[in-house]
Structure 1
Amino acid sequence: MKYKLGDFVRFVDENYEGYVTRIIDEQMIGVTGNDDFEIPVLASKVTHVHGHRAEGEANGRAETGADIPAAGAFIEKGIYLGVAPDKKAPSVVHFYILNETSYQLFATLTTQKDQTLKGEYAGTVAAKGQAQIYSGQLADVQLWPQFLLQVLPYASRPAAMPKAITWNEKFKAKDFADPKKTLPVLKEAGWLFRLDEPELVIDPQQLKESFYKSPVEKVEVTKPHSEVDLHIEKLDSNYQQLNGSEILNMQLTWFKKSLDSAIVHQLPEITFIHGAGNGILRHELHKQLGKNPKVKTFMDARKEKFGYGATKVMLK
């Protein structure tokens, strides 16, 4: 496959262009244009657009940083895996090794899926540098393979003998539930996973206070009901004080939260009760469902129970 996620391509036989947002198999790819719809197409029926390159290459981000650390304090900690959305195709995310240390890193990434191992990346990451090692569809996080990342720090100048890092992870949707933060080295918004252990600094006062604090409860995504009522009186008892736009935004927010929760918990189906009304809420729901890659299909729910006021969603 000569195309990568994030590549900008143009159809050979049609006046259409967009970004590669899915690698279906060795012959087929998915291309998303300005209309935000993904179109499956044979790889032989598209071509790279001259002057455009993959997101990581376009910014010269494949591998950057100084090969020899600058004089001064030798930094031994700060090796991360960063995940950042593609600027042109936000449904695609790129994985980077981010190196804040003074070490040069020798790194390999191997993925495992259905007992099959595949080498994805092998190379070096300069001190204070980064390297793009993988790309994937964020909506397909549950389908991503197991990641096995191995990193060996090295320095030509005298330094402490570092330990090799082995990081084995199967990502889940909840790993990307937290808000994005600015990634070190890359200076872009994304999600950050630390590969090395930070230096342990003990604050006596904090240690003392910890004996008197109850442990923080783990935050989990609540499993939604199979039927979600979006009528505003069910969502906010003070809805009389809201205008039409505020009501619609609240309904759509609750719809998205419930749909995401259903996907995280791998529910086979979920029904949204939106009422008949003027059809605006139903139209907005159907528009978003049509773009969601985790939605298999959707239809009017049982008319004998809901009339035309509910939509049943089948999930992949």
Structure 2
Amino acid sequence: MKYKLGDFVRFVDEKMEGFVTRIVDEQMIGVTGDDDFEIPVLASKVTFVHGYENNGKKSLAAEVMQTPVAEFITKGVYLGLVNDAKVNSVMHFYLINDTSFQLLAGLTTESQDKYKGEQAEIIAPKKAVKIYSGQLADLQLWPKFIFNIVFFTNQNIKPEAPLAVTEKIKAKDMASAKKKLPLLDLQGWLIQLDEPELVIDAQKLKESFHKPAGEKQEITKPAGEVDLHIEKLRDDHQLLHSSEILNIQLSYFNKALDAAIVHQLPDITFIHGSGNGTLRQELHRLLSKNNRIQTFMDARKEKFGYGATKVILK
């Protein structure tokens, strides 16, 4: 199939054009025009509209600028999910390289034990590449995405270990509000690929109750609502730098979440405020990697606006 979701095409025998919004099989596709009505058509009966989009790819041997060692960034490989600008029902997937490494990246999909090599790219530092597209209505049918990524630089920097990451996109990955994605002037959802899954061992936390008296560490049951505003946590907050404030808030969040898991609370709400969204983004990133979390969502908007996140525990 030479066409992909999101391609702009024109009918050969009629004065019609639109976007490819469904791949039925190797011969049949669905095309949606300005009237938002999807028309099934043989792939042989449409053609690309040349000039609509720049399809030329940059050379894989593009020169990479040297980054000062002190400024070299080693973490920041993301999968970004973005709705098509013209056809909102189509979701595009971007591999985002926010590191200073070049990436040799391959994407394979797996569905019902069938594997398909989708794309292989060399991605320059601070660049993003569209690697896949899917129909949003078919989210439950989307395949597993298997990423194999190798890090490279010709500078005197130890490369990161190669990544072999499998992601199955779920509805909860898009439960939070959209945000601006790094390197892309687009709003969407973000999944970090180069971060190990956060695994909390509830049994080990419980064992802390049974330590000898001299070692025993009491874990207090947290309130149902935990306020992470820095003025609630530290009296000297006006003397702290923004990075220190964020670290304090995240530390308090992690302790409260661990305590909620130990005490088997059904849910807990974290009040983070709206602000610039940094704290909310970090909380959602950590929650999405936590295997003790069933789901999370914006808390009651009539009470908190967009300033709180409700976490449902398993």
Q: State the 1:170 CA deviation.
A: 1.7
Task: Give the counterpart letter for 1:49 in structure 2.
Answer: V
- Equivalent positions of 1:203-242 (< 5 A) are 203=247, 207=251, 211=255, 215=260, 217=268, 220=295
Q: 1:121 aligns with which of 100, 119, 128?
A: 119
Cα-to-partner distance string for 1:61-89 (whole Å, 9 max, x where unaligned): 99899623444611111111111111122
Q: 2:8 — aligned with what?
A: 8
Structure 2, unpaired ranges of 5+: 199-242, 261-266, 269-292, 298-314
Aligned partner of 2:94 in structure 1 is 96
Find the counterpart in structure 2 of residue 34 from structure 1.
34
Amino acid in structure 2 at the alignment position of 1:21: T
Cα distance, 1:113 vs structure 2: 1.3
1:206-248 per-position Cα deviation (integer Å, ceiling 9, x unaligned): 64686567535457599xxxxxxxxxxxxxxxxxxxxxxxxxx
The AA in structure 1 aligned to 2:116 is: K
Q: What's 1:178 paired with?
A: 176
Which of 100, 104, 108 is equivalent to 1:106? 104
1:239-258 counterparts in 2 under 5 A? none
1:148 is displaced (CA, Å) by: 0.5
AA at the equivalent of 1:123: E
Q: Write the distance in 1 (CA, Å) between the matches of 2:41 and 2:59.
A: 27
CA contact (8 A) 1:10 1:48 kept: yes
Runs of 5+ consecutive residues of structure 1 not aligned to the other structure:
223-316
Is 2:66–2:155's contact at 8 Å kept on the other side of the alignment? no
* Partner residue in 2 for 1:152: 150
What is the identity, as a one-letter code, of the residue corresponding to 2:35?
Answer: D
| CA RMSD of superposed structures (Å) | 3.2
Aligned to 1:68: 65
Contact 2:153 2:159 in 1 (8 A): no
Mapped to 1, the partners of 2:59 and 2:128 lie a distance apart of 7
- Counterpart Cα distance in 2 of 1:186 and 1:35: 29
Bigger shift: 185-194 or 159-168? 159-168
Aligned residues: 218
How far is the alpha carbon of 1:177 from its aligned partner? 2.3
TM-score using structure 1 length = 0.61
CA contact (8 A) 2:101 2:153 kept: yes
SS of 1:140's partner is helix
Q: Distance in 2 between matches of 1:63 and 1:177?
A: 36
**How many Å separate the matches in 2 of 1:66 and 1:184?**
22
Aligned-partner Cα distance in 2 for 1:209–1:88: 39
Structure 1 residues 210 and 185, CA gap change in structure 2 (3 angstroms) = closer
Task: Name the amino acid aligned to 1:15.
Answer: K
- 1:13 Cα offset (Å): 2.0
Shift of 1:178: 1.8
Q: Which amino acid aligns with 1:40?
A: P
CA contact (8 A) 2:101 2:124 kept: yes
Q: Give % identity.
A: 50
Shift of residue 14 of structure 1? 2.1
Residue 162 of structure 1 corresponds to 160
Instruction: Answer yes or no: is the 8 Å Cα contact 1:66–1:128 preserved in 2.
Output: no
Q: Do 1:106 and 1:125's aligned partners in 2 also have CA atoms closer than 8 Å?
A: yes
Cα distance, 1:60 vs. partner?
7.2
